[in-house]
Structures are given as C-alpha cells and as structure tokens.
Amino acid sequence: MIRSNASEMAAKLVAGETTSVALTAAHLDRIRAVDVDVHAFLHVDSEGALAQAAAVDAKRAKGEKLSPLAGVPLALKDVLTQKGIPTTCGSKILAGWRPPYDSSVVANLKRNDIVILGKTNMDEFAMGSSTENSAFGPTHNPWDLTRIPGGSGGGSSAALAAFQAPLAIGTDTGGSIRQPAAVTGTVGVKPTYGGVSRFGLVAFSSSLDQAGPCARTVLDAALLHEAIAGYDPKDSTSINAPVPAVVAAAKSGNVKGMKIGVVKELNGDGYQSGVRTRFEESLELLAGAGAEIVQVSAPNFEYALAAYYLIAPSECSSNLARFDAMRYGLRVGDIDGASAESVMNLTREAGFGREVKRRIILGTYALSSGYYDAYYGSAQKVRTLITQDFNKAFARCDVMVSPTCPTTAFKIGEKSNDPIAMYLNDIATIPVNMAGIGGMSLPAGLAPEDGLPVGFQIMAPAMQDQRMYLVGAALEAALLSKWGAPLLSQAPALAGS
Amino acid sequence: MSSLSRDDVANLARLARIEMSEEELISLSNEFTVILDAVARVQEVAAADVEPTSHPLPLRNVFRPDVVVPSLTTKEALSGAPAQEESRFRVPQILGEE
C-alpha cells in the first residue's frame, strides 16, 4: 500500500478500500523500520498524525465533501512552523522550540485534511545542497545510503524515495526542492515566487524563498500544489491572482505544438556524461510527443551562481539577526551580570553551524559600507540581466529545459570541506529563483555509469506554472512506457522492506 | 584578488554578534579568499546602465485592512521564552552598570 502514489491512495480512501488511519499507521511503521538507516525525519508525530487521520475518517463516514488528497499522509520540511510541534530548521539554536502558531502552508494542509506525519531533516536554515549541514546529522539517499539525498530538503526527498511518505513539502531558495528531487528520482516543484505563502516559513533569503510540493508523480505534485497555493494576506509578497490550473495540466500532458527551449549554457562541459545522455533522451521523447525543440541562449546565467552567493548571504545575515536569544530558542551565558550583547555572541557561536556562520559573515561583508556597490549592488544588477535573459528566451519558447544538476548524488563527506564545489551543485537551479519564476524537476532515468537518478528541469514564466506540469506529465508518461514501471521500482530494497 | 584578514573577519563577527575562536577566524579568512574571488565575478557584467533588481515582484507598499483579529495570547507568545518574569520576556542586562 505504501508504494502506491498519493492519487491512488486517495482513490482507495474514496472507494472505502482503506482508511486514513490504516494508511497513516502503515507509513508510521515504515518510518520506524527504515528511518534508522535513512534519517529523513527529525520528529515523528505519530499521535497527532493518527488523530488527524481518525478525524478525516470520521468526516468521510459522515459523508462530508472532502478535498482530493484528504486522508493522505505527508512529510513536512522542518523549516515550516506547525503549532505545538518542534521546529528546528536543522539548527541547534532552535532545538526544542515548539512554535505557537501554524504556517499558512500547514493551515492549508490541515484545511485539506492532509495528514502530517512529521518534520523532515534539512541543511541548517536551508543553507546547503546535501543535508550534511543539519545539526542533527545527515540524511542518507535511499538509492545508496553512502550518498547525499540532495539539499537543503534532503529529508523530504529521501522520505518519498524510501516510501516513508507519498507527499512532502519542500522549500526552494536556490534549488532546495529540485536538486533533492533530481538525486532521489522524485518530483519537486518550485512554484512561481509568491504563489505559495511564506507566512510561517522561517526566512533564509526572503526574495528567493518559496515553498512547494514534492511527490513521486507529476499529478501528485499538482494535487499538492493546488492544496497549498493561493493568496494569503499574511504574506505581503503573496500574489493575489487565481492559482494556475496545474492539476488539469498534469492530467492532460498534451504538448503538441509547444515550444521547448533547451538552454545552451546549462549543458555541456561540467555535466556528467550520463546526465547528458538522459537529458538528450528526454528531449527526443518530448519531440516524439509532438513538442518542438528549439535552442535558446541565456548568456548571463553563468553569473547567477556568483550573484546568488551574494544576495542569499546578504538577506540571511539580516534575517538570522532574529536569533538573538531573547524571545525564543537557545540562550547561552546568561549568568549574573552578563550583558545582552555577550549572551547574543555566545548563543550565536554555540547555536549556529559552520556554513550558517560563513554565510552570515559573507552577507555582513557584502552589505557593509564601502563594499555594498561592488558586491550586493552588482549582484542585484546581475539579477536584472538574468531576468532579461529569461524574458528574451520565453519570447521564443513556452518553457525552458535543462538537466536539474550537473551530476548524480555524490558521496557523503565528498564536498563538505570545499564550499565552492558544493555551491556548483546549484548552477542550473539558481537562475529560476533569481527571476522568481517556476521550476520543476522530474526523474529522467538513471545515469548508465553509476546507476543513480538524473533530474530533468522544466522552467516556466511567472504564473504559468501549468506549463511545467503539461511538459512534466508528457515526459513522465513517455518514460513510464519505456521503463514499464516507475523509476523507484529499481531502487534497492531497504532493510525494512 | 580580494581577501579578508583575520582581523577583518573578527570585525565582521563582532558586527554579526557571533563569538569566534581564533581557529575559526583564521580558517574563515582563508576560505574567504577563494569565495570572494568566485563571487566578485558579478562585477564583470554589472554595468552602470543596468538597473538593480531587489525583488522578483514589482511591489510597492502592501496594506491590509486595519481590523482586529485574534492573535497569540500572552502565554502562547511567551511559550518559547528562554526566561520570563511577570508575563514578560526576561532578558540580560542591556544598558551598562552606571
């Protein structure tokens, strides 16, 4: 039962073939069996999940009209607040904190009766591409436990690939939904910036952060997308417009006549050969489904990474100032006569990990007087150039595509001492965040040389998210008929299965 | 080539309110030589005539109606406080002794 897709589970619930309590219990059993090896979860709320499931079953028994995913379980990235449930952001500075309110994403999940199993592991404050920066230990990729599951949302992607949950929520600042999806053979979508409320999403880089759906199929991601998206007056950057019709697009998958732009700069040198093989194959399948493949160029994308590593640290140095040991979280050194400043200094020293400190210092430098124009100011100009590149390209095509990442999953520990090598993972995902548009990653198969999953990225103009789902559904269907079974059926069995 | 000395990092750490060990100051200062070289590439294309973008959405001030809605109770607001006293956050000394 746990290996089905969310939409199949939902259909069984509607048909009365199973209950949400049974489904939830099956996933909790699975978590108990395999999370020792995977470590996707930081907190499992068995009691709360079963209570929520029982409440959905009772509503269904009474004949109430329920939402499409009602009763289906989900794993929540630990960067979103859920009332009364520990929310750590993978950081010691928030260990033990139980927020007194729900994020808007969680409120939407509860309104749709989606059952929340627990909180998933992540790089501390979403800063990283491997989940190795979690203060609570790394998550392991279910395809190969010695490898990273991507990051920052490696807990969410691993939970899907290990069948611990059929749905998950991620957040994406520079690729933290899409890159984990790519390296675990799952689907992840970063909606248009402003499409999903950021209220209750602990801020890393406010002009880039966006929550979105993670799942094992394009349709499941679309159903979850519609459940969490929409205008929220509590987020001043929330877009007040109808949610794009992503479920209809995922059900249609008709790409006849669509123009698909291959980004010249996001391919070639630096991309693993198996990644390129799978990418080319996907292009052929899309052409076979009736799409027209065109070449587009985005010359300024090569500066995106540099701009990102100025903008995101600058915004984080400001956002993380809230962790001051005064109102919540860790407090260190509060002895008689200690000043507030010394308590702050000691708390932030003890509470933040290495990468977080590195970025706060970098951001503090980039924003300091005398350097502002050269660094932060220049990065903002690059942001304009990247947006212009997208606009020019989208004048010639409906969506743009690329490999999601240059390589398949690397070994845990392989890049942890080389920040620049680590940052290069995000080279193909960052431009989307800079422009605030939508991006999706879906599985394109396994790289022949290492047998590990490769991701195919689809980018669409702002508030045209449905186009990603059209193309994603078409490619998924073509690949499925080629493979004969979902990609994850080729993943090795874990101890618990 | 840009670089940050150990003292530069110490000054930034002070501004960012993070206590740092000598070992951390030195290793960060070494790493920043590499990182600043990589990020300084933005200057290659940031011409004077390019407008900066601070945010993906063209937003100005966003207002909501000024109506009273339910909010956190005092107990809830204080639920995560490291220390509290008389329904308030208790914080370390902020002003000097004198």
Domains and CATH numbers, chain B: 1-45 (1.10.20)
pLDDT recorded at residue B1: 55
Give the distance from residue A344's alpha carbon to the nearest chain B alpha carbon, in angstroms.
6
Interchain proximity A357–B31, CB inside 8 Å: no
Who among B55, B89, B93 is closest to A326 (CB)? B89
Which of A98, A237, A364 comes nearest B15 by C-beta? A364
Give CA–CA dist A188/A472, Å, rounded: 11
> Measured between CB atoms, which of A237, A328, A361 is closest to B9?
A361
From chain B, pick out residues whose CB is under 8 angstroms from the CB of A344: 17
Residue A428 in contact with residue A379, Cβ under 8 Å? no
Chain B CA closest to residue A318: B16
Model confidence pLDDT, tens digit, residues A400-425 = 999 999 999 999 999 988 888 888 88
The whole-angstrom distance between residue B47's C-alpha and the CA centroid of its chain comes to 28
Confidence of residue A21 (pLDDT cuts 50, 70, 90): very high
Cβ-defined contacts of B12-15 (< 8 Å, 24+) = B12/A361, B12/A364, B12/A365, B12/A368, B13/A361, B15/A364, B15/A368
Minimum Cα–Cα distance from B50: chain A residue:
A381
How do the domains of chain A map onto residue ranges?
A: 6-255+439-490
The answer, as to whether pTM is greater than 0.80, is: yes
Q: Is pLDDT above 70 for A457?
A: yes
| pLDDT of A128 over the 80 cut | yes
Give the dihedral sign, CA A97/A99/A105/A107: positive
Are the CB atoms for B84 and B78 separated by under 8 Å? yes
Considering only the beta carbons, identify the residue of B35, B47, B77 that sits closest to A100: B77
Which residue of B17, B54, B80 is in closest CB contact with A327? B80
Could A101 and B20 be called an inter-chain contact, meaning their C-beta atoms sit closer than 8 Å? Answer: no
Task: Provide the number of CB pairs (under 8 Å) joining chain A to chain B.
Answer: 172
CB contact under 8 A, A98 and B79: yes
Residues contacting residue A215 through CB under 8 Å, at least 6 positions apart:
A5, A6, A160, A166, A167, A168, A186, A187, A221, A224
pLDDT, greater one: B2 or A29: A29
**Catalytic residue list of A:** 77, 152, 176
Nearest to A382 among B35, B42, B92 (CB): B42
Task: Say whether B35 and A237 touch across the interface (CB within 8 A).
Answer: no
Task: Tell me the C-alpha distance between A251 and A263, whole Å.
Answer: 27
Cβ–Cβ below 8 Å for B19 and A334: no
Alpha-carbon span A135 to A354, nearest angstrom = 10
Judging contacts by C-beta atoms under 8 Å, the chain B residues touching residue A358 are 28, 31, 35
Confidence of residue A185 (pLDDT cuts 50, 70, 90): very high
pLDDT of residue A336: 87
Mind giving me the DSSP string for B32-92?
Answer: HHHHHHHHGGGGGT--TTSPP-S-SS----------------HHHHTTT-SSEETTEE---
C-beta pairs of B84-90 under 8 Å, 24+ apart in sequence = B89/A326, B89/A327
Question: Contact B19/A346, CB-based, under 8 Å?
Answer: yes
Whose tokens are 């966006």? That residue is: A210
The string of pLDDT tens digits covering residues A338-366 is 999 999 999 999 999 999 999 999 999 99
Architecture of domain A6-255+439-490: Alpha-Beta Complex (3.90)
Please report residues of A whose CB lies closer than 8 A to that of B47.
381
pLDDT of residue A496: 59
Closest residue on chain B to A333 (Cα): B92
**How many Å lie between the alpha carbon of B24 and the closest alpha carbon of chain A?**
9
Contact A331 B62 (CB under 8 A): no
Please tell me the predicted confidence (pLDDT) of residue B65.
87
Q: Please indicate whether, in this complex, the C-beta atoms of B40 and A306 are within 8 angstroms of each other.
A: yes
pLDDT of residue A314 exceeding 90 = yes
What does the DSSP assignment read for A149-195? Answer: --SSSHHHHHHHHTTS-SEEEEE-SSSTTHHHHHHHT-EEEEPPTTS
Substitution target in B18, B71, B76, B85 with the highest count of A β-carbons within 10 Å is B18
Mean pLDDT (chain A) is 97
**Contact at 8 Å (CB) between B45 and A303?**
yes
CB contacts of B34 in chain A (<8 Å) are: 419-420
Instruction: Report CA Rg, chain A.
Output: 21
Q: Where are the beta strands (DSSP E) in A12-129?
A: 41-44, 73-77, 115-120
Cross-chain Cβ contact A310/B51 below 8 Å: no
Residue of A nearest to B4 (CA): A365
Q: How many CB atoms lie within 10 A of CB A98?
A: 15
Q: Which residues of A touch B52 (CB under 8 A)?
A: 377, 380-381, 383-384
B38 CB neighbours in chain A (<8 A) are 305-306, 309, 420, 423
Cβ distance of A327 and B34 shorter than 8 Å: no
Residue A277 has pLDDT above 70, yes or no: yes
Report the gap between the CA of B48 and the closest CA in chain A (Å).
9
Residues on chain B touching A207 (C-beta within 8 angstroms): 54-56
Residues of chain B with pLDDT under 70: 1, 97-98
